[in-house]
Amino acid sequence: MSDDILKELEKKYANLGENPEPYLKGLLYSKPITYWDYIEVDTLLSLQKPRTDFKDEFVFIVYHQVTELVLRLMIHEVEQVISSEKPTEELLKDKLKRLIRYTDMLITSFDVMKEGMSHEDYNKFRLTLTPASGFQSAQFRFLEIYCTPILNLIHKEKHKALSKEPTAEEYLKHVYWRLAGYNPKTKSRSTTLKLFEDKYLGVFAEYINKAKGNTIYDKFHQIQSPSEDLIRLMKTFDNAYNVKWPMVHYNTAKHYLTKKGEAKTATGGSQWEKYLHPKFQKRTFFPKLWENDSILEF
C-alpha cells in the first residue's frame, strides 16, 4: 500500500475523531464481500410464498415484488429532489429522465402479467387473494404525494367539500383513490380499503406534511424560465405514470377479468374499469402544463 493511501486513510479517520489503527487492523480479519451477500440474493429468493399449487402464482408474486422495487427506486430519486433547498434545472432533468426510464420499465413489464400466466389458473388462484389488491401499494401513494400537491389528487368536484385550511387527514378523506373502496351513500368502506387505511393513513398524513411546498411540481415552479426541454420531460413523466401505465394495467385486467362482455370483480372489490382507465380518473401531477393540450393525447 502506498504512503499516499495510508495518509488519506489516516486523514479520513482523523476527521471523524477516530484512531485509524483499529480500523486498518480490522481489514486483516474481515471476510471478502461476495455478490450474493451484498445483494442479499438468498433473502430475496426466499420471499415468494404462494398460497396455492398453481405454478403461475409464483410469476404473479415475483412480478409484483419487482414492481415494488422499481417504485422504491423512483421514490429514491424523488426524495433527492424534494430535499433540495435550491433545485437546479439540471437536477430536475436528470431525475425526470430516471423517473421516465423506471416508468417505462413498469409499462413494458406488464407483458409478464398479460402474456406470462395461464388465464385459467390466474382466475382460480386470484380468488385466494381476496381482499388483497394492488390498490394497497403504499409506495404508489408515497410517490404521488411526493410528485404533486395533495389537492391535485382530489377530483375538482370534491374541492368544495374541503375547509379553507384542510389538514392532511381531511385531504385523505377526499383523495381520488378512496373512491375505489368507499360508498358515499352508506358511508361504508370495503375491507380492502379499511385494512389499507388502518395501516397507512397516519403514514400518508406524515408524507403529505413532509412534502408540502416541496413536491416535484413545487420544485419545478422554483426554476426561473424553465426550458422547453424540462417542460417536455415533466409532461412525458406525467403522461407515462398517469396514462400509459394505468392503461396497460387496465388492458391486462380486461384480458383476465372479462369474458363474453361480462366483467368479473377485482379481488379488492373495486370497479376496476373506472378506477384504472385514465379517461375516468383524468389524473395529472402537473395540471398547469396541460392548459393547451390533453394529457390523454400527449
C-beta of residue 234 within 8 angstroms of C-beta of residue 220: yes
Q: Return averaged pLDDT per consecutive 10 residues of the chain, 298 residues in all.
A: 87 93 91 96 98 97 97 98 96 98 96 93 94 95 98 94 96 94 90 96 98 98 97 98 93 81 69 78 93 92
Cβ neighbour number for residue 58 with a 10 Å cutoff: 14
Note the pTM of the prediction, 2 decimals. Answer: 0.91
What are 99's three cell numbers? 423517473
**Domain ranges, ordered by start, for the chain:** 63-297
What pLDDT, on the 0 to 100 scale, is given for residue 260? 57
* pLDDT score recorded for residue 261: 61
Question: Which triple of cell numbers denotes residue 242?
Answer: 398517469
C-alpha grid cell, residue 69: 422495487
For residue 47, what pLDDT is reported? 98
**Residue 128 in contact with residue 50, Cβ under 8 Å?**
no
Buried-exposed string 146-160: b where 16+ CB fall within 10 A, e elsewhere: bbbbbebbbeeebee
How confident is the model at residue 262, as a pLDDT? 64
Fold adopted by 63-297:
Methane Monooxygenase Hydroxylase; Chain G, domain 1 (1.20.58)
> What nine digits make up the cell of 177?
383513490
Question: Quick one: which of 154, 160, 174 has its CA closest to 282?
Answer: 154
Looking at residue 275, its pLDDT comes to 75
Q: Which amino acid belongs to residue 136?
A: Q
Which pLDDT score, from 0 to 100, does residue 254 have?
Answer: 86
